[in-house]
Amino acid sequence: MTDLMQIGELADRAGLSLRTIRHWEEEGLIVPSARSVGGFRLYSGEDFERLLLIRRMKPLGFSIEEMRELLATIDALDADADHPDHPARARLAGFVAQALERREKLRTQLDMADEFVERLRGI
């Protein structure tokens, strides 16, 4: 995905609404890579991948501020990828631990929902 795309195409590919993308822009989570001559937002493949990362954080209950912090951490690591002891690596490890914990909580909730459905079917 190397071509730039307008917000509508980005929304379609990401399975998100225009409103959600615009909100995340207002929050500073995503920034269009360029603007067309007519002023339309243009997004790159990297923007798309960033958007998918944000979308994946949402069901885990990460707040906008936590999303900002994680994205800043990733940006810092991308800017200085050759530094193996970068302080951002510890922050990233913390986010991984949080994501695993939140995933386990969701798994438990899903198990309870499955049990609930089975109980209803048994009535």
Domain ranges of the chain: 1-51, 61-123
* Tokens matching residue 77: 């690591």
DSSP 114: H
Q: Reduced to 3 states, what is the DSSP secondary structure of residue 41?
A: strand
Q: Rounded distance, CA 121 to CA 115, Å?
A: 10
pLDDT at 1: 42
> Which pLDDT score, from 0 to 100, does residue 80 have?
79
Spatial contact of 59 and 106, defined as CB atoms under 8 Å apart:
yes
Q: Write out pLDDT tens, residues 49-83.
A: 999 999 999 999 999 999 999 999 999 998 877 77
Per-residue pLDDT, 72: 94
Q: Is the overall model pTM greater than 0.85, yes or no?
A: no
Burial annotation 39-70 (CB, 10 A radius, 16+ → b, else e): eebbbbeebbebbeebeebeeeebeeeebeeb
**Class (C level, CATH) for 1-51:** mainly alpha
Residue with the two structure tokens 């707040």? 63
What is the tens place of the pLDDT at every residue in 7-35? 999 999 999 999 999 999 999 999 999 99
